[in-house]
Amino acid sequence: MKDIIGTTRLCALLGNPTGHSLSPMIHNNLASSTKTDMAYTTFSVEKEALEDALLAYEGTVLVISHDRYFLNKIAVKILDMHKDYMKEYLGNYDYYVEKLKEESMEDEKKIELTQTQIKKQEKKMKK
């Protein structure tokens, strides 16, 4: 790992287990090749301690997790990122899932409405 000085940006993967992660190697190689003053490491932190720390923290944290229970406990906003856009959901993971279901149902209704409108147009054109 590179020397860490006062200006070095420190990034970390927090969790348990972390030893299997390739993230430090990937990020540190990228930082080195782009001459970015950054170091990436891992910290083994038990889930409950991490949850408590994040809940007590008053700043912004970007969390990427596959643990739905964890996201439900700590998330207050979810950003659903796509190639061309990003959508914000103000709530935890359960809220996000519920909103996705609602949006899917709305999309289905729009498709049904469009199909109904097409049929009406076709009937008018036949007359």
Q: Are the C-beta atoms of residues 95 and 77 closer than 8 Å to each other?
A: no
pLDDT at 102 (0 to 100) = 94
Residue 121 has pLDDT above 80, yes or no: no
pLDDT at 1 (0 to 100) = 63
Dist CA 87 CA 80 (whole Å): 5
- For the chain, the average pLDDT equals 90
* Lookup: tokens for 100: 């996705």
Dist CA 8 CA 40 (whole Å): 10
Instruction: Read off the pTM.
Output: 0.65
Q: Are the C-beta atoms of residues 51 and 70 closer than 8 Å to each other?
A: yes
Residue 61 has pLDDT above 70, yes or no: yes
List pLDDT tens digits, range 82-117. 999 999 999 999 999 999 999 999 888 878 778 777
Could you write out the DSSP letters of every residue in 93-125? HHHHHHHHHHHHHHHHHHHHHHHHHHHHHHHHH
List pLDDT tens digits, range 68-77. 999 999 999 9
List pLDDT tens digits, range 5-48. 999 999 999 888 998 999 999 999 999 999 999 999 999 999 99
Beta strands, E only, 1-127: 9-15, 38-44, 78-81, 86-89
